[in-house]
Amino acid sequence: MKAILALEDGTIFEGTSFGARGEECGEVVFNTSMTGYQEILTDPSYKGQIVAMTNPLIGNYGISPEDCESDKPHLAGFVVLEASRIASNWRSKESLDAFLKRHKIIGIAGIDTRALTLHIRCAGAMKGIISTRDLNPKSLIKKAKAAPGLVGIDLVKEVTCKKPYQWNKSGKYKVVLLDCGAKCNIMRSLERRDCRVTVVPAKTSAEKILALKPDGVMLSNGPGDPAAVTYVIETVRKLIGKVPIFGICLGHQILGLALGGQTYKLKFGHRGANHPVMDLRTHKVEITSQNHGFCVDLNSLDQDKVELTHINLNDQTSEGMRHKRYPAFSVQYHPEASAGPHDSKYLFDEFIMEIENAKKK
């Protein structure tokens, strides 16, 4: 079946439908990962986005339930050059096409994803629409323009857990994970380090978190504009200095805002598994997995209180920071990336060290 991807600036891509049929709007972005499409599909951070994969062949190893990062896909649509009809993997339980159909996610294949990516890099990420129902370009462009964007929109409330739950039952360290759209591998990474993880909804107050008597608090990744999640910012502001804090991705941005800083929207964001980041403390370069469209403006933070610890070597944007007085640090990228790379796993060990140091005081 024919499908069309229309961008708000009038650009049209015609292709063929796979996955579910219908119509869906979202912000059109690209991801440069060569593997890990299942982790991308099930990452809650992609809520509200239509994701185009730059790797030309997607779906060739099928879908394995144990590799999911959440209970379902969260993105608005999926764009590929070629959707593999063959899933060659002994662990696979279903094809990519069947997985998207089951979860009602619209896909479009057969378009020039290289041309789409170059266009987004030049013009910036923009609103778009995928449709198998309405094939009138003018009508689709009008719908794309009318669609809500991501700026100022709270998407965290749509992906956070409904009530607190215990991820695992035992562990030396009690860690509370503030769920803004957490990936499962954050919890797995903590569990592997002898942490007993309690996951709480994003609207949980600082008082309720502290009442759980955690040894540390984890701020998860999540979708949308961090400045719109004012209730989480206020919670984190009250937690700083009372318990060790480690933030990832949206958690990094929330920590920056809680410390009095500002965030801004990147032109086309960082999404992929091949972004070089330098640890300014050691000058070592890590290859990182990333997925974010907003960034912390380090110049808006009090330099006497907060130090920059990591920097993106592609565009020199901030990738990590640490409070100079309190045990609170964060990174913009994903050290828990289950599809890889795994260069940044040491950050979870640093979190455990902060917990140990706090216990000694």
Q: How far apart are CA 171 and CA 99, in angstroms?
A: 35
* Residues recorded for the chain: 361
- The strand pairing partners of 57, in sequence order, are 82
Both tokens assigned to 112: 């020039």
Question: Could you tell me what percentage of the chain is helix, strand and coil, using 3-state DSSP and rounding each to the nearest 5?
Answer: 25, 35, 40
Continuous segment of H or E residues that includes residue 119: helix 113-123
Instruction: Please answer whether residues 115 and 28 qualify as being in contact, where contact means their C-beta atoms are separated by less than 8 angstroms.
Output: no
Q: How far apart are CA 153 and CA 175, in angstroms?
A: 29
* Crossing angle (nearest 10°) for helices 250-258 and 230-239: 70
Continuous segment of H or E residues that includes residue 188: helix 184-191
Q: Which residue in 25, 68, 249, 295 is the catalytic one?
A: 249
Give the chain's end-to-end CA distance (angstroms, integer). Answer: 65
- Pairing label, strands 12-19, 2-7: antiparallel
Q: How far apart are CA 232 and CA 252, in angstroms?
A: 12
Both tokens assigned to 27: 């912000």
Q: Which residue in 8, 275, 334, 354 is the catalytic one?
A: 334
Annotated active-site residue 336? The verdict is yes
Instruction: Please answer whether residues 172 and 195 qualify as being in contact, where contact means their C-beta atoms are separated by less than 8 angstroms.
Output: yes
- Pairing label, strands 173-179, 216-219: parallel
Annotated active-site residue 295? The verdict is no
Of 117, 154, 340, the C-alpha closest to 254 is 154
Q: How far apart are CA 15 and CA 6, in angstroms?
A: 11
Q: How far apart are CA 32 and CA 47, in angstroms?
A: 18
Q: How far apart are CA 15 and CA 11, in angstroms?
A: 13
Annotated active-site residue 249? The verdict is yes
Instruction: Please answer whether residues 308 and 288 qualify as being in contact, where contact means their C-beta atoms are separated by less than 8 angstroms.
Output: no
Would you please indicate which residues are annotated as catalytic (active-site) residues? 249, 334, 336
